[in-house]
Amino acid sequence: MSKISEKKPAPPAAPADLPPDPAALAAILVQTAEKLQPMMSEFMQKVDWDIGNQPLDPLNMRQAWTQFFEYLAQHPERVAEMQIQYMKDWVNLWQESAKKFLGHPSQELYQPDQHDRRFKSEAWQNSALFDFIKQSYLMTSRWMQKAVHDTQGLDEETRRKLEFYTRQFVDAMSPSNFLITNPDVIKATLDSKGENLVRGFQNMIEDLERGKGHLKISTTDYGAFQLGKNIATTPGKVVYQNDLIQLLQYQPATETVYKRPLLIVPPWINKYYILDLRPDNSFIKWLTGQGHTVFVVSWVNPDERLTRKTFADYMDEGILDALKHIEKATGVPDCNVIGYCIGGTLLATTLAWLAAQGQDRRIASATFLTTLIDFTHAGDIKVFIDDEQLHQLDEEMKEHGVFSARKLKNTFSLLRANDMIWTFVVNNYLMGKEPFPFDLLYWNDDSTNMPAEMHSFYLRNMYRDNKLAHPGAITIKGTPIDVRKIKTPAYFLSTREDHIAPWKATYAATQLLSGPVTFTLSASGHVAGVINPPTTNKYGHWTAAGHPADPDRWLAAATQHDGSWWVHWAEWIKQYAGEKVPARKPQNPIEDAPGSYVMKKAE
C-alpha cells in the first residue's frame, strides 16, 4: 500500500525589489562631496549674504498656531483619540508592508491622488522599502492635515492659514524631495557616479546668481524663447502709449471684419503675451482669424517712478484711454471688452464707474476670464492678506516703491508648490537635469512689479474687505460705485481647477450684475483652461441656461461639451459684434508689436 503524500505549502514569493547597495551609494556620496567643496567655497566668496531686517514672523503665523495648540491643551481627550488612531494606522501599515516584503499579496492602504506625479515611478510600487516610505508619508501627511481640519473653535481665517501652511510643510517633507528616499535619484546617482549631484549643484549656484543671492529656481530654458521671434509673433503695431500702457492693434487676417472693435485688458501681474504665445495657441491670432479688429493693452513693468499710480489710474490710463483711442481710430463709439483675472476686476470697476456717470454704453459687452468680483471665497491667496502682513508689505513698498515681481511670483508658486517648486528642485538639483523649454513657464517667470499705491488699495479693498461686492463701499475718482448697476451683457469664463480665482468664487459675480449673464466653465486651471485652442481639442467645457445662486446647482444642471470654450464664446459675441465692414489696418504706428513695454524685465 503506497504512502499518501502530503501536499506541502508553496514557499513565499521572493521579496520585492530591494534598494541598491548602501555601501556603494555612501562611497559615491563621499566622492561627490569632495567635488562639491571647492565649488561651494568659490560661490560663498562671491555672494554677499545680507538678509537685512527680516521680521521674525513674516507670515504672521504665531497667533494661528497659538490658537491651535491652545485647543489641543484644552481637549486632551481629542489628542489621545488622534494618537490612538495614528498608532492603529501604523500597525495596519506595518502588517501590509511586512506581507509585501516577504512576497505575499498585500493591500495598498494609502494611494497618491490621481493628479499626484511625485510617485509615478515603478520603484515606488515595486520596492517594498520605497512603497513603505511612500505610504507612511501619505498616511502621516493626511493625519496631520485632518488634525488641523477637524480642530473646533477656529475662525475661518485662522483655519485657512493653518491648513495652507500644514500643506506647505507636508509637501516639503515628501520623500521624493530627498536624495536618500527617492529611488529615481538614487539610481541616477549610482549610474552616473554622482555626476547628477555635481550638475545639480551647479544648477543651484546658477539659480542663486540669477536671483542675486535669492534662489530663483529655473523652470524652463530661458534661451529658447525671444519675444517677437518665436513667441508674441502675431503681426501688429503699437498705436498709442502713455505712462502705464502701450495699446497694440493687430493686423486683420480677413478681408472684412466686425464693425465693433474688440479690446483685451490682460492682468498686469504678468504680461499680455500669455494670450499670444505660439501661433497655434494664440488667442489673439485666433480672434483676428474670426474677423475681429483686436486691440490689446500691454501694461508697463513699473519701477519706483510709478509708485503713486492708483487703481483709478489703471482705469483711467488703461481702459478709458484705450477706449478713447479706439473710437478715434475706428470711428465706432463703443467696444466689446475682454478682461482677464485682475484685468477683469478692473473691467468690472470701470463698468460700475461708467454706469454711475451715465456712460455705460461705451462698452457694448464684457467678457470676464477667471475674474473675481466678489472676493468672499477668494481661495488660498487670502492667507497672505491680513493686517499684520499688509503692514509689513507697506513698509517694504515704502523702501522700494513697488511690490517686487520676485515676491509676487514666489507667492503664486506656493499655491501649487509641488508643481511649481518641488518638481523643479528634484529635476534640476537632484537629478541634475535642465528644465524643458516651455513657453508657458517662460511667460510665468517673466513677471512684473506692482506700484505700491495701487497694490495696497487692491489688496485691502478687494481681497481683505471685499468692498467691490458692496454698493458704494468703493469710491473711484470721487464717485461711489456699485457693480449691481452694471447692465452690460456679460460672459463669464471660469476654470474648474483654478487655484488663483476658484471657480465657485468667480461664479458669485453672476448674482451681482443686473444685465444678461452667460456663465461657462472650462476644464483645467487658471491659464491652461483659458489658453485652450479649438485645434487641440484638449479640454472640454460646461454650459447651462440660467445661473442659480448655488454654483453646485448650476454644475449639476450643466451640459458637458468636448472642445474649447473659444467656439462657444465666438457664437455669443456675434450678437454684439455688428455687421461686417472692410478690414482696418493700424494707422500712425509708434512701433511694431509686441512693443517695448513688454520687453522690460522686472528689477
From residue 530, how far is each of 3, 33, 188, 392, 565 by CA, in Å?
78, 46, 37, 34, 8
Q: Is the pLDDT of residue 41 over 80?
A: no
CATH number (3.40.640.10, 3.20.20.150, 3.50.50.60, 3.40.50.1820) of 236-599 reads 3.40.50.1820
Q: Is the pLDDT of residue 97 over 90?
A: yes
**Average pLDDT of span 437-454:** 94
**Mind listing the pLDDT tens digit for each residue in 370-410?**
999 999 999 899 999 988 889 989 988 988 899 999 888 88
Q: What is the predicted pLDDT for the residue at 17? A: 52
* Chain-centroid distance, C-alpha 73: 37
Q: Is the pLDDT of residue 85 over 70?
A: yes
Q: Is the pLDDT of residue 453 over 50?
A: yes
Q: What is the predicted pLDDT for the residue at 425? A: 96
Q: Residue holding cell 490621481?
A: 114
- Nearest CA-CA partner of 595 in 301, 184, 161: 301
**Mind listing the pLDDT tens digit for each residue in 264-315?**
999 999 999 999 999 999 999 999 999 999 999 999 999 999 999 999 999 9
Instruction: For CA atoms 550, 551, 553, 554, give the dihedral sign.
Output: positive
The H or E element spanning position 82 is helix 76-101
- Nearest CA-CA partner of 308 in 392, 401, 231, 204: 401
Please tell me the pTM assigned to this model.
0.91
**Average pLDDT of span 354-376:** 96
Active site residues: 341
Range(s) of the chain covered by CATH 3.40.50.1820: 236-599
3-state secondary structure 340-387: ECHHHHHHHHHHHHHHHHCCHHHEEEEEEECCCCCCCCCCHHHHHCCH
**Mind listing the pLDDT tens digit for each residue in 544-599?**
999 999 999 999 999 999 999 999 999 999 999 999 999 999 999 999 999 999 99
